[in-house]
Amino acid sequence: MTPRSESSGSHPKKTAGEKIPEQPTAAQRKSAAKKTAVPKQAAKKAAAKKAASAQSPAKKTSVAKTTAAKKAVAKKADPAKGTAAKATAKKVAATKTAVKKTTAKKTAAKKTTATKAVAKKATTAKATASRTTAAGTPAKKAAAKKAPAKTATAKKAPAKTAGVAKTAGARKAAAKKAAPDQVVPPEMEIAVSPAVDAVDRERLLGGTHHDPHSVLGAHPVPGGVAFRAFRPYALSVTVVAGELRAELHDDGEGFFSGLLPLREVPPYRLLVGYEGTVLDTEDAYRFLPTLGDLDLHLIGEGRHEELWTALGAHPTIHEGVTGTRFSVWAPNAQGVRVAGTFNFWDGTGHAMRSLGSSGVWELFLPDIGEGELYKFEITRPDGSKTLRADPLARRTEVPPATSSVITSSAYEWGDAEWLDQRARTPAHEAPFSVYEVHLASWRPGLTYRQLADQLPGYVKNLGFTHVELMPVAEHPFGGSWGYQVTGFYAPTARLGTPDDFRHLVDSLHRAGIGVLMDWVPAHFPRDDWALAEFDGRPLYEHADPLRAAHPDWGTLEFDFGRREVRNFLVSNALYWCEEFHIDGLRVDAVASMLYLDYSREAGQWTPNEHGGRENLDAVAFLQEMNATVYRRVPGVVTIAEESTAWDGVTRATHHEGPSGFGGLGFGLKWNMGWMHDSLQYMSHEPVHRKYHHHEMTFSMVYAYSENYVLPISHDEVVHGKRSLVSKMPGDWWQQRAGHRAYLGYMWAHPGKQLLFMGQEFAQGAEWSEAHGPDWWLLDPGYGAEPDHRGVRDLVRDLNTVYRATPALWRLDTDPAGFEWIVGDAADDNVLAFLRLDPEGTPILAVSNFAPVVRQDYRLGVPEDVPAWHEAVNTDAARYGGGDITNPDPVKPEAQPWHGRPASIRLTLPPLSTVWLRPA
């Protein structure tokens, strides 16, 4: 191979665009034409600099070559001058031959004396001696044979000749180490510059390169294999392939390059020298993409149901190398880079590649593993940069820190029996009483694993079938209680790791307790490190500001009409159910999703395509989410917090209702109407309750329009609403009695039950996330402890009887399971009804919401029950009541009453609920 002239090499202080290409042959000119064009002015300056120097033959030859270079550049501009250029090339070749012998002898001698490094290793280090000597000279061959086996050094060689063309002697030396089939055959010995060209260089430095893998790494080129590395702050980069070691030329600004005379790209590593250390690593830019065509197709279609396995950061083994694969959806970005603790938060050298039109960016980083922090550095369309947490991060730093954390799970589950049995009975036909918990404040200071030691036992002792966890997904502000989510795929790091959370769920399952979780797909906060304008433009939020801004919470609403956003959320629902074995999702703020005019005045919203107020995109999303979750996860239940009379919240998605919409597909719906009306009734003084009697009976007008949960949630005991017991009028005794009577009525009413923590023992203060429930009220040393313990004992007994009585839950969604005994005794403040199981076995619930005892209160009953006895009486002494009970079985009399052929007479305690069942 003909070497380049001295003036054609890379100058350490010049960019790739300023390099002067050699012009020895027409074939080389044709190859060089594919690279960046060389300005004529640069060629003139280089020629002038050479001509002004000393009188040596080598310098004269350099001037002649520079003149030839000028003519060659001119030929590129005008193809008609090709003949003259060929003649000039012949003269240059003749001149080169004369120079080679002299230069080779001087260089070989200088190299042997000063460095002890030879071309036997066939290196291309920065500027090697082999690059500066002429091909095929005896001096070079002799030096190659005698020198010891060391990596060639660039310190004594002219820097400008390195990294472009190997001499024939160096090729033979490399051939001794390389496999025979890797040696470049003579017909390939037409070299090109391996250096990164000016355009790619600028884009890599600026973070706007969409395909860094096409530039960096190793690439077959005419003349061999070009190696290029971009390692900011590195002092040197050496390629190691088997016994072959080649130090790349320093092209400046962190770029290194070299050309090795190989037929194909060998397996190789990089030795990256920094001040005081050398890093031995794989080259991140030698790997194929970690995402396949199927993944990209599903992402593009918005149908990747396991999106968390494709996007995000995943420790893995790729092409036999251990590392972490990163991928992120950012279709509007000019470029994306990975920054983290592994590169000192400077992502300059870790540019990601864009995978076609999918909008996905990807990079595999070798030798990076679990525990490292990272973010994505995104170059926006306007050229500015933003550092963002990973939307698919499965672990985060502890707030207020905001970085994502590389993680993988090694947890071994022990709840197979629970998962198997949960699918046997639909939730609406099974006992379902829920204890709502804010994990961070239930016992402040406890971690997930410490909670696993205490929470399952406490909930099981009280007899609840499920716990509902307020949002567990990562959120920056604790005062939001988790309802402003930034890490949709990460359990909050405040309480431990994702596997620690798995342990808590597993422990609850092994105690026989289901786990529900609040899920918030309606909106997200505006934090500039999270989802808001993620890649510089509205992406997860709607592009229309009127559709994007949530009017109540200062947050942004998801763009449910964008298929990738729907995919992000549907996959997230599956993620919690499949990866953490969550048994149900309570979907927050459904009403705000369903209506375009939710909390908006006229002129602040735009009707849908039919002129209506329904958000058709949100409807489609909820239907898709429910259908997908129920299809993939047997036994799971979804619950809607929906506060309006939307038709068909719990109707199947393929069943169209009167409104023309298919059902939303939820399993259960919070009965916000019952909650509001019943609490309103209970807050009235008993003397006024007869005027509000309908507030307790109206719920039965629509009780079977949906599958309902009766919620006394956190929302009802904060922000000045007072705790449940404090809502009751009267003195402390009356408040506790009203509290107990209300719980007895609630557990007997059709629908499932939900009670927020602290209300099970009649906490008097509102809940605060800062300190949680007032557990000190249950301290035996506290004087009023029996009052609070009695309420908790009642909750335990209600749950015990409830679970053992199918009439209270088997026909919760069937009108056949309920019969009024008396619903119009407003003057008495009395309600009485029957609950029935499928076989017709009844239980009688009677509530007296007046503060007086009612002796011999007659109620009509079925005639086929020979006797009734008390199952629960909320006035029992052990609950803190007055102990006015019906201790003996109550037998029906043949006197018709309330439209029934038989009746019984009961003593109704004041402010109480009594359950009676057949003796």
Q: Which residues are the active-site residues?
A: 588, 641
Largest CA distance in the chain: 136
Q: Beta-strand (E) ranges in 567-673? A: 584-587, 637-640, 668-670
Q: Beta-strand (E) ranges in 767-911? A: 818-825, 830-836, 842-848, 854-861, 868-873, 902-908
Measure the CA–CA gap between 616 and 661, rounded to whole angstroms: 10
Measure the CA–CA gap between 182 and 260, rounded to whole angstroms: 10
Measure the CA–CA gap between 823 and 833, rounded to whole angstroms: 8
User: What length is written for the chain?
Assistant: 919
Buried b (16+ CB within 10 A) or exposed e, 519-541: bbbbbbbbbeebbbbbbbebbbb
Q: What is the CA radius of gyration of the chain?
A: 39
User: Nearest CA to 798 among 518, 473, 337, 435?
Assistant: 435
Name, in order, each residue with C-beta under 8 angstroms of 77's C-beta and a sequence gap of 6 or more: none
Measure the CA–CA gap between 486 and 84, rounded to whole angstroms: 68
Measure the CA–CA gap between 557 and 210, rounded to whole angstroms: 30
Structure tokens at 47: 């020629």
What are the φ/ψ torsions at residue 133 (nearest 5 degrees)?
A: -90, 160
Count CB neighbours of 658 within 10 A. 7
User: Nearest CA to 312 among 324, 326, 322, 333?
Assistant: 326
What are the φ/ψ torsions at residue 271 (nearest 5 degrees)?
A: -105, 110
Residue with tokens 């199981």: 837
Measure the CA–CA gap between 102 and 99, rounded to whole angstroms: 6
HSE (side-chain half, CA atoms, 13 Å) at 394: 26
Q: If you write DSSP's letter for every residue of 685-723 in order, what string do you get?
A: -GGGGGGGTHHHHGGGGSTTSS-EEEEE-GGGGSTTS--
The number of angstroms, rounded, from the C-alpha of 387 to the middle of its chain's C-alpha atoms is 16
Any idea what DSSP says for residue 157? S
User: Nearest CA to 792 among 751, 763, 834?
Assistant: 763
Written in H, E and C, the secondary structure of 409-453 is: CCCCCCCHHHHHHHCCCCHHHCCCEEEEECHHHHCCCCCHHHHHH
Measure the CA–CA gap between 401 and 403, rounded to whole angstroms: 6
Measure the CA–CA gap between 277 and 384, rounded to whole angstroms: 33
